[in-house]
Amino acid sequence: MALMDKHKQVKRQRLDRICEGIRPPILNGPMHPRPLVALLDGRDCTVEMPILKDVATVAFCDAQSTQEIHEKVLNEAVAALLYHTITLSRDDLEKFKGLRVIVRIGSGFDNVDIKAAAELGIAVCNVPAASVEETADTSLCLILNLYRRVTWMHQALREGTRASSVEQIREVAGGAARIRGETLGIIGLGRVGQAVALRAKAFGFGVIFYDPYLPDGVERSLGLQRMATLQDLLIHSDCVSLHCSLNEHNHHLINDFTIKQMRQGAFLVNTSRGGLVDEKALAQALKEGRIRGAALDVHEAEPFSFTSGPLKDAPNLICTPHTSWYSEQASVEAREEAAREVRRAITGRIPDSLKNCVNKEYLMAASQWPSMEAATVHPELNGATYRFPPGLINVAAAGGLPGAGGGVESLVTGTLAHAIAPVSHPPHAPSPKAEADRDIPSDQ
């Protein structure tokens, strides 16, 4: 019994030394640390674990900023998964010592400074396809709601309004409009924009679009009309729907000036990014009736609340909490594809092995871009258990999430199939002159 206890004590000391980064001598050659993959702004790793468990340790941080991320993750993580609720600026990225790839679980990546990431040797990827249908369906739902005023009629009935006579119906349903023959203007004809256009045509909309980055001829294949300028689209649209990514070139694309170019009494729908719309200008236009109604799934400040901000008193406004991307199927698909992208980074070469690298051109321009080492199997660590200190980080095991509660130590067991040799980020290199990012429908 004493011998067994001594053996357990020696094994525990060895594992603690591994956890603290003190590498004990191994007869079979140099040891490579097991890659650490961190989910920065979430807690649930049950979808990602089956895909990554044989090549990496997966941890979750549940952080809203890098100040909440455990030092171990900042020092050792080679890959990061994130949603849209955490922002990674250059200063944030520089806190990570060994980060090689960031994968956004969704399509929009405006919460990551992709150029700074490239200069630091970090590839940034997204998952552009998972929520196309959901976002398009929600966009059309909001458009139809504005025209048929379903939300307001429902609210009137909830408040006790009677609508039995024709006069009462006219009052309750006032503003409801016929759709056939109306013109829907789409800004950004990417994946979601095209899906919205096809759906809108089935309801009788005439569809026009503006997208300066789309090759000539796409409009003919889809049976749409292309506008040469944004002003042309705004002038000819009865309803404007935004489906473009957010970048430094189109912040507040819809502002007081562009709103004045829209048709009097037009509708506005945004399921892309909140920063595309100047909410102060929109609120004023709604109050003045220049815009008849608006529907927003995304906002400049999130999470959105009607109790504060410029839109709190705006009439004829529908707001939803950045959920147009969501369905159970889309959520799982996005997480699976994000995990597969991380796996490609670990087992292959960056950026060549990556499927959806959004800063590849900047990566290739950055000097001293390091290559990822080939997979290394070390039998000494097969089946080893990794303990993480209690605090802001927990580790998700293949069988599910660790027990709830702060400060709970969690264990993950797995077979080491690959390791990444630690590398230093390359020195900053100038990025090529920025061109407006291609339209990638936001996932949200």
Catalytic residue among 322, 335, 344, 418: 322
* Catalytic-residue membership of 273: yes
Return d(Cα 401, Cα 420) in angstroms, integer. Answer: 25
3-state helix, strand, coil in the chain (%, to 5): 35, 15, 50
Return d(Cα 277, Cα 142) in angstroms, integer. Answer: 17
Catalytic residue among 273, 290, 335, 343: 273
User: Using a CB cutoff of 8 Å and minimum separation of 24, what contacts does 274-279 make?
Assistant: 274/298, 274/299, 274/300, 274/301, 274/302, 275/110, 275/246, 275/251, 275/300, 276/242, 276/244, 276/246, 276/250, 276/251, 276/252, 277/242, 277/252, 277/253, 278/252, 278/254, 279/309, 279/310, 279/311
Hey, is 112 helix, strand or coil? strand
Categorise residue 269: left if φ over 0, alpha if ψ from -120 to 50, beta otherwise.
beta
Using a 10 angstrom Cβ sphere, with 0-12 exposed, 13-18 middle and 19 or more buried, the burial of residue 286 is buried
Are the C-beta atoms of 136 and 192 separated by less than 8 Å? Answer: yes
Return d(Cα 286, Cα 311) in angstroms, integer. Answer: 9
Return d(Cα 209, Cα 219) in angstroms, integer. Answer: 9
* Type of residue found at 223: G
Among 261, 260, 241, 223, residue whose Cα is nearest residue 185: 241
* Type of residue found at 211: D
- Sequence-distant (≥ 6) Cβ neighbours of residue 14 within 8 angstroms: 24
* Type of residue found at 265: G
Return d(Cα 296, Cα 320) in angstroms, integer. Answer: 6
Using a 10 angstrom Cβ sphere, with 0-12 exposed, 13-18 middle and 19 or more buried, the burial of residue 211 is buried
DSSP 303: S
Strands 317-319 and 411-413 turn out to be unpaired
Hey, is 169 helix, strand or coil? helix
Task: Mark 71-87 as b/e (b = at least 16 C-beta within 10 Å).
Answer: ebbbebbbbbbbbbebe
Catalytic residue among 302, 380, 409, 435: 302
Categorise residue 390: left if φ over 0, alpha if ψ from -120 to 50, beta otherwise.
beta
* Catalytic-residue membership of 322: yes
* Catalytic-residue membership of 154: no
Tell me which residues are annotated as active site: 273, 302, 322
